[in-house]
């Protein structure tokens, strides 16, 4: 998608700190980390939000979770981590390309604020 920040990051047009990449998925460090480890994991193909997951593209979401399991091993997240996707205004979604926050290396309150 022409004007999408995360499409540009996945394409390498905007620099980012890469954590993981495969043919379908790109993961990078969040610019404003909310935990000592804070990755953003995205499908390379543009999907706007969780509202837009469907039978045609859900395999890409499965790829994201396969990548997260690999990242957890790669980054030694054996004490646990949280995966979050914000969808829409009330959840605070600020970038319109679906992304999964992976937060770790501190105790994470439940329920979140």
CB of 32 to Zn ion, least distance (A): 19
User: Would you count residue 30 as binding ligand 5GP (CB under 6 A)?
Assistant: yes
Choose which of 4, 53, 61, 83 interacts with Zn ion (CB under 5 A): 4
Q: Which of residues 88-107 bind ligand 5GP (CB under 6 A)?
A: 92-95
Task: Give the closest residue to 23 by CA, choosing from 43, 6, 3, 38.
Answer: 43
> Counting beta carbons within 10 angstroms of the beta carbon of residue 112, is it exposed (0 to 12), middle (13 to 18) or buried (19 or more)?
exposed
Q: Which of residues 83-102 bind Zn ion (CB under 5 A)?
A: 97
How many residues sit in the footprint of ligand 5GP (CB under 6 A)? 13
Per the structure block, which two tokens stand in for 100?
A: 């999964």
Of ligand 5GP, Zn ion, none, which one sits near residue 16, judging by CB under 5 to 8 A according to partner kind? ligand 5GP
Q: What is the spatial distance between Cα 80 and Cα 90, in angstroms, rounded to a whole number?
A: 26
Q: What is the spatial distance between Cα 11 and Cα 83, in angstroms, rounded to a whole number?
A: 23
User: Would you count residue 104 as binding Zn ion (CB under 5 A)?
Assistant: no
The footprint of ligand 5GP (CB under 6 A) covers: 5, 16, 28-32, 40, 86, 92-95
Active site residues: 99
């Amino acid at each position: 998608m022409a004007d999408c920040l995360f499409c540009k990051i996945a394409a390498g047009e905007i620099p980012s700190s890469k954590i993981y990449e495969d043919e379908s998925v790109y993961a990078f460090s969040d610019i404003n980390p909310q935990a000592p480890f804070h990755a953003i994991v995205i499908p390379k193909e543009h999907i706007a939000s969780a509202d837009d997951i469907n039978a045609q593209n859900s395999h890409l979401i499965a790829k994201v979770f396969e990548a997260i399991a690999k990242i957890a091993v790669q980054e030694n997240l054996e004490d646990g981590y949280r995966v979050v996707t914000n969808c829409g205004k009330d959840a605070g979604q600020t970038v319109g390309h679906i992304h999964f926050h992976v937060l770790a290396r501190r105790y994470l309150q439940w329920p979140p604020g």
